[in-house]
Amino acid sequence: MFFIFFISVICACTLFYLTHPNQKIKPKALHTRWRWVALLWWIAGVYVATATVATSTAIFSALTISMAVFGTLPFFQLFFGGQHHAQ
């Protein structure tokens, strides 16, 4: 169950990041309605985690994973060849 939580939080954060206009992974940002899908997916992941661990642990884990994902996603464009800036 915790693996499902982990994957769902990572996917939700990635989807939320891809809706931002300043993201560099895709040429064009996703429509803003996907933000609501990402939020619901994130909440569903936390709900799944509360089935296996305490609520405070689930929320803390979700926030920690979210911060790690949001901190590393901007660097993925370097590896996957997003938009390059010529100098």
pLDDT digits (tens, 9 = 90+) for 14-70: 999 999 888 877 888 888 899 999 999 999 999 999 999 999 999 999 999 999 999
CA distance 46 to 42: 6
Give the other-Cβ count within 10 Å of 44's Cβ: 15
pLDDT digits (tens, 9 = 90+) for 69-80: 999 988 887 776
Q: Which residues contact 33 (CB under 8 A, 6 or more apart)?
A: none
